[in-house]
Amino acid sequence: MKHDKKLVVNARFLTKPITGVQRFAIEISRRLRNYLDDVSFVSPKNIVHRELFSELGAKVVGSHTGYLWEQVDLVRYLRKMNSPLLLNLENTAPIWYRYKITTLHDIGFIRYSEFYARSFSTFYRLFTPFVVKTSIKIITVSEFSKNEIITKYKLPPSKVEVIYNAVNEKFHPVINEKKYKENYILAVSSLNRRKNFEGLLLAFSKLSNENVKLYVVGEENRVFGKGGIKEELRNVPKVRFLGRMDDDRLIELYSNALFFVFPSFYEGFGLPPLEAQACGCPVIVSNRASLPEIYKDTALYCDPDDVEDIKNKMKMLIERSDLREDLRDKGLFNVKRFSWDLSAKKLADVIKEVMKNE
């Protein structure tokens, strides 16, 4: 079949709150036109990011929303447009359309299915094999995730390409000592069990004698169900739950924190610690999954299963200003390894190769 030499981006991410997956989709989409001549963006009608919709010159197609839009309206539109190449950036894609590239950030819904809403993990376990099989290329965000995907779905390594996350250039140190007078540790993430807030709060509760608070930024996500933080742990002294923050406030919180802590059980990439490093904030991360690949020797590592170890690592950073300074400098250097422009260019090269070989 002869395909149109155009790229259409599945922009359903315009209808969702921003998490790490949507951040990847947004930043890559903003830059693709710098490297490709003919790119268009199509979305369902329930847009929540209106400014970004206009910035991308996106177009609403069809009358449905959600997965139904993706499987029906999007496919109908593509076929009317002479079947161009479709780029999917958010883990899902129309299974009956084969001329596509699909991003699969990780397979946490398999490795830690108990940390997701049952309906979500069941759907993805059944749905993802079809998406993988019918995609020409799979994009993922780390070598760790690539190895898991090719092993799980028995794929040749050449079918999976790694395109790293990065940090937007607006993430940089913004120090405000007058506004942020108290010492605080910062944690940022969706409030779900995979991120190990239970372990973090238990560890922090053991630091009761330290003159420091814990700020938690994030909210529950229906993807992960309820119960990300047990009710009794919401009352740990010196903990403040701040909810969702816009980027400007988040940058201030990163910049003025004593340090950032991220004891997650499983990450395909783990973007919040990189944002923290870009703002000059030392980080503690878990020693699991992709995190050692992304952070190398620029972070202090903890065992997410060991509350005492998490506590000891936090205590170490509280007490040692020299270690905080060392990690701050290493973190600022680590951030330079990642670039949205380089990632968009690498993805554009993958797209060109697919079009060339159609």
Q: Which residues pair with 137 in a beta bridge?
A: 101
- H helical segments located in the chain: 20-32, 50-56, 66-68, 74-80, 108-111, 118-133, 143-152, 197-205, 247-256, 272-278, 291-295, 307-319, 321-335, 340-356
What's domain 7-166+339-356's superfamily in CATH? Glycogen Phosphorylase B; (3.40.50.2000)
Are 346 and 163 contacting, i.e. CB atoms less than 8 angstroms apart?
A: yes
pLDDT tier at 3, thresholds 50, 70, 90 = low
Q: What percent of the chain has pLDDT over 70?
A: 95
pLDDT at 224: 44
pLDDT tens, 216-274? 998 875 554 455 566 666 777 899 999 989 999 999 999 999 999 999 999 999 999 99
Integer Cα distance of 277 and 255 in angstroms: 9
pLDDT of residue 173: 95
Encode pLDDT of 144-197 as tens digits. 999 999 999 999 999 999 999 999 999 999 988 778 889 999 999 988 889 999
Domain ranges of the chain: 7-166+339-356, 184-335
Task: Dump pLDDT digits (tens) for 203-216.
Answer: 999 997 779 999 99
User: What rounded mean pLDDT belongs to the chain?
Assistant: 93
54-63, 87-96, 114-123, 306-315: segment of lowest average pLDDT:
114-123
Amino acid 178: pLDDT? 73
What proportions of the chain, in percent to the nearest 5, are helix, strand and coil?
A: 45, 15, 40
Query: Quick one: which of 342, 355, 251 has its CA closest to 35?
Result: 342
Q: Are 175 and 244 in contact (CB under 8 A)?
A: no
Percentage of the chain with pLDDT > 90? Answer: 83
Does the pLDDT at position 296 exceed 90? yes
Angle at 248 between CA 42 and CA 32, to 5 degrees: 30
Q: Give the other-Cβ count within 10 Å of 16's Cβ.
A: 15
Q: What is the pLDDT of residue 18?
A: 87
Between the ranges 43-47, 122-126, 217-221, where is the mean pLDDT highest?
43-47
Q: What is the mean pLDDT of residues 86-106?
A: 97
pLDDT of residue 222: 53
Domains 7-166+339-356 and 184-335 share a fold: yes
Helix then strand count (H, E) for the chain reads: 14, 13
Residues 6+ positions from 240 with CB-CB distance below 8 Å: 184, 213, 214, 215, 216
Say if domain 184-335 classifies as CATH 3.20.20.60.
no
Region of 296 (left: φ > 0; alpha: ψ -120 to 50; beta: rest) is: left
DSSP 229: S
Residue type, 139: I
Checking if the pLDDT of 9 tops 80, the result is yes
Tell me the whole-structure pTM to 2 decimals. 0.93
What is the model's pLDDT at position 311? 97
